[in-house]
Amino acid sequence: MPLRRRRSHYQQPTEFERGRVVGLREGGFSFRDIAERLGRNVSTVHDCWQQWSKEGTASRRPGSGRPRGPTEREDRRVRRMALAHRTASAAEIRAAVGTTVTQRTVTYRLLQ
């Protein structure tokens, strides 16, 4: 079975950084200069500028994947239950939380 390469995790530019890219670019700075100032790749700076030029907005577009099922509140309840009852199984935590959280979701959330 071939090994898969994992994508390295990187931080998305914040709204503030995206705004700085637009401001600096409109101020006459080159992509390379902006990238050095912000500590980002030139391609990231270029992508932010391209999005601003085409769409008129620098905000991040929504992802294309399926939305998360449980809410942040339900995740917190799962974590609290797990900390309070360390020996409880995922099925017991699921039953105690009492919402539509599945046993597999409980397991995933505890592993995060």
Judge if 51 and 77 occupy the same domain. no
- Show the tokens assigned to 31: 């992509």
pLDDT at 1: 54
Q: How many domains does the chain have?
A: 2
Domain assignment of residue 104, yes or no: yes
Domain assignment of residue 76, yes or no: yes
Is residue 79 exposed (0-12), middle (13-18) or buried (19+ Cβ within 10 Å)?
middle
Which residue from 72, 74, 91, 93 is spatially nearest to 83, judged by alpha carbons? 93
CB atoms within 10 A of CB 74: 19
The domain of 46 spans 15-55
Assessment of whether the complete model's pTM goes beyond 0.75: no
Query: What sign does the dihedral 72-12-22-57 (CA atoms) show?
Result: negative
Which residue from 54, 55, 46, 51 is spatially nearest to 25, judged by alpha carbons? 46
Domain assignment of residue 98, yes or no: yes
Domain assignment of residue 7, yes or no: no
Domain assignment of residue 62, yes or no: no
Q: Which of 18-27, 64-73, 78-87, 98-107 has the highest mean pLDDT?
A: 18-27
Judge if 47 and 78 occupy the same domain. no
Q: pLDDT tens digit string along 29-88?
A: 999 999 999 999 999 999 999 999 998 888 877 777 877 777 788 888 888 888 888 888
Domain assignment of residue 44, yes or no: yes
